[in-house]
Amino acid sequence: MVHINGKDIDVAGQSLMDFLNANDYEMGTFVVECNEEIIHKEDYKTYILRDGDVIEVVQFMGGGCGTSLMYRSIM
């Protein structure tokens, strides 16, 4: 299982690029972090998802100050 944005998903063995394309992520609008390290765009094709990987896919949203602790969704 790969832990992606808080959910366990059975995609180990797939490339990160295949996962992103299959799940409708719009290229250029997000950043991917794997096990606390950023994966750069040029590495999406070669990065193969492994059992136990913790992936965060994030983007910008509206926020001023502390608005998010209530909706804490990363970290």
Q: Which residues bind another protein (CB under 8 A)?
A: 5-6, 23-26, 29-31, 33, 36, 38, 40, 56-75
CA atoms within 13 A on the CB side of 58: 16
| Least CB distance to another protein at residue 13 (A) | 21
Least separation in angstroms between CB 32 and another protein: 9
d(CA 64, CA 23): 29
Residue 48 or 74: the one with the smaller Cβ distance to another protein is 74
Q: Which is nearer to another protein, 10 or 72 (CB)?
A: 72
Upper half-sphere CA count for residue 70 (Cβ side, 13 Å): 5
